[in-house]
Amino acid sequence: MKTLKAIELGIAGDGVVYRNLAPATLVEIALENGEGTLSDKGALAVKTGKYTGRSPDDKFIVDTPAVHDDIAWGKINRPITKEAFEAVHAKMLAYLQNKDLYVFDGFAGADKKYTKKFRIINELASQNLFIHQLLIRPTEEELEGYEPDFTIIAAPGFKCIPEVDGTHSEALIAIDYEAHLVLIAGSQYAGEIKKSVFSVMNYVLPKQGILSMHCSANIGDDGNSAVFFGLSGTGKTTLSADPNRKLIGDDEHGWSDDGVFNIEGGCYAKCINLSAEHEPEIYGAIRFGTLLENVILDENGTPDYNDGSLTENTRAGYPIDFIPNAAIPGVGGQPKTIIFLTADAFGVLPPISKLDNDMAMYHFVSGYTSKLAGTERGITEPVTTFSTLFGAPFFPLDASVYAQMLGEKLVKTGAKVYLVNTGWCGGKAGDVPRMKLKYTRAMVTAALSGELENVKYHLDPIFNVNVPESCPNVPSEILDPKNVWTDKAAYEASAKALAQKFVENFKKYDKMPANIVNAGPKA
């Protein structure tokens, strides 16, 4: 076993610090410590307690003069003082003294030109297993003389006292970009560690001219990569898992002058309603070395993926090489095609439309999809959801920074951008069936192959997007929603109502250039 002295981490006491243990050893320790149990396939199953998902109200950025003007402060990027951060940091170090700890030293960024070194200090062996599998794992040689660029301390057993510590609750996720330090307290949900790495990369990569993206990506035999943006439930993972293309990554990427690269070395897949039939790659990846969060096991250790009694946000974390057609290392050439995915529950957005560069930047910033009735308490009708850059909680800089970088990348590479509605067409959700997956796959395939470059388009007068009049293996009549709605007046009213929501949402981007503002829907 590799060990460090606690004092090397700034922690007093005589606890043992285990560094970069093998997954098998971490699983053994986690079982001995009572952190979880094994599934029938050998995955380590844990329950994360009170926090079964990210806690956005508990996320803060340290406000210092060096970063103040960089950050887009607001409801997402909340400030915390340096003094409050350092006080919690000192308390966390005191809490951890004399405890056995687990350190993972690894990399974020598969392109070695832009790789950053992260040191993750964990109170729990199970969380250390998770981040070992989610980040890029260094060789023995790379660990020699390793000095981290950023350090993350994750201590779920340490509870903040809001009235003393200036926090929102007992949990805290706070980033000090100047000190290169992240504190995660009170929450055992492993996604907080993963997304803290991403939030750091979303600050540092743009300063190097790299567009950081919340997306999946794959690559064809011709070396051309494709990028898929989309919020939860839009089909991002399903559509990027293409047996004819290799998976670069499922969630976080950078786009440089050389092409696309995965920020991570693993995947963090949703498990609710998972089946071997529909997601065979993910299903097969849940085995020894995988961390399962909040998945219910029966008496034989068999996961019940349909059981959402603890949370609908059940998860599996595993290394990307558990996926058979993964691209190792996770790098690809310049993207030829960009896909924006949305699930429009109002049934008025075209199933696929082509975007010029200004339209692309508009929809990139908008990040639209809709929540369905029943997905959250109190939702009885479809609700519009706008998440800036298809991942608002993780981007610290102003949205215009990322949007303008996308525009520059599109001009430089000539990549084609399509908006794909994987939701409903011809009526709202509940009134008509969802778009058939085989049609959506056919549209995406046509976009990736370039077949949609050779068809006629017309401009949708309400949504201001270019709608194809034909697409291989897709009935032409469904390509324009107005044709499918039986009540044309109802279509018109619903479409204009959604367009108005786009317009209202975009008013908050006061730094956005006029050419992008004018490329959106017309209310």
Please state the φ and ψ torsions of residue 496, each to the nearest 5 degrees.
-70, -35
Nearest CA among 305, 314, 216, 226 for reference residue 264? 216
Q: Using CA atoms, how far apart are residues 449 and 491, in angstroms rounded to an integer?
A: 32
Q: Could you tell me which residues come within 8 angstroms of residue 139 by beta carbon, excluding any fewer than 6 positions away?
A: none
Give percent above pLDDT 70 in the chain. Answer: 97
With beta carbons less than 8 A apart as the criterion, state whether 437 and 423 touch. Answer: no
What is residue 8's predicted lDDT score, i.e. its pLDDT?
A: 77
Domains and their CATH numbers in the chain? 3-33+56-208 (3.40.449.10), 267-322 (2.170.8.10), 334-517 (3.90.228.20)
What is residue 401's predicted lDDT score, i.e. its pLDDT?
A: 93
- Using N-to-C axis directions, what is the helix angle for 125-134 and 191-204, rounded to 10°? 40
Q: How far is CA 418 from the centre of its chain?
A: 20
What is residue 4's predicted lDDT score, i.e. its pLDDT?
A: 73
Walk along the chain (523 residues) and give the pLDDT tens digit of each residue: 466 777 778 887 788 899 999 999 999 999 999 999 999 999 999 999 999 999 999 999 999 999 999 999 999 999 999 999 999 999 999 999 999 999 999 999 999 999 999 999 999 999 999 999 999 999 999 999 899 999 999 999 999 999 999 999 999 999 999 999 999 999 999 999 999 999 999 999 999 999 999 999 999 988 889 999 998 888 888 888 888 899 999 999 999 999 999 999 999 999 999 999 988 889 999 999 999 999 999 999 999 999 999 998 999 999 999 999 999 999 999 999 999 999 999 999 999 999 999 999 999 999 999 876 434 444 456 789 999 999 999 999 999 899 999 999 999 999 999 999 999 999 998 899 999 989 999 999 999 999 999 999 999 999 999 999 999 999 999 999 999 999 999 999 999 999 999 999 999 998 888 999 999 999 7
What is residue 223's predicted lDDT score, i.e. its pLDDT?
A: 83
Tokens representing 323 are 């996926």
- The predicted model scores a pTM of 0.93
What is residue 242's predicted lDDT score, i.e. its pLDDT?
A: 84
Q: Using CA atoms, how far apart are residues 325 and 328, in angstroms rounded to an integer?
A: 9
Nearest CA among 341, 352, 419, 423 for reference residue 382? 423
Q: Using CA atoms, how far apart are residues 113 and 190, in angstroms rounded to an integer?
A: 28
CA angle at 285 for the pair 283 and 288, rounded to the nearest 5°:
120
- Paired strand residues for 283: none
With beta carbons less than 8 A apart as the criterion, state whether 6 and 15 touch. Answer: yes
Please say whether the dihedral angle defined by the alpha carbons of residues 55, 57, 63 and 66, taken in this order, is positive or negative: positive
Tokens representing 155 are 């201590």
Q: Could you tell me which residues come within 8 angstroms of residue 304 by beta carbon, excluding any fewer than 6 positions away?
A: 295, 296, 297, 298
| Residue count of the chain | 523
Q: Using CA atoms, how far apart are residues 1 and 101, in angstroms rounded to an integer?
A: 13
What is residue 381's predicted lDDT score, i.e. its pLDDT?
A: 65
What is residue 159's predicted lDDT score, i.e. its pLDDT?
A: 97
Q: Using CA atoms, how far apart are residues 47 and 310, in angstroms rounded to an integer?
A: 9
Q: Using CA atoms, how far apart are residues 200 and 189, in angstroms rounded to an integer?
A: 18
Catalytic residues, by residue number, are 54, 195, 214, 232, 236-237, 251, 315
Tokens representing 305 are 């993926």
Q: Using CA atoms, how far apart are residues 216 and 106, in angstroms rounded to an integer?
A: 21
Q: Using CA atoms, how far apart are residues 76 and 166, in angstroms rounded to an integer?
A: 17
Within 10 Å of residue 32's Cβ, how many Cβ atoms? 9
Tokens representing 159 are 């509870």
What is residue 295's predicted lDDT score, i.e. its pLDDT?
A: 98
Tokens representing 139 are 């060789």
Q: Using CA atoms, how far apart are residues 134 and 194, in angstroms rounded to an integer?
A: 7
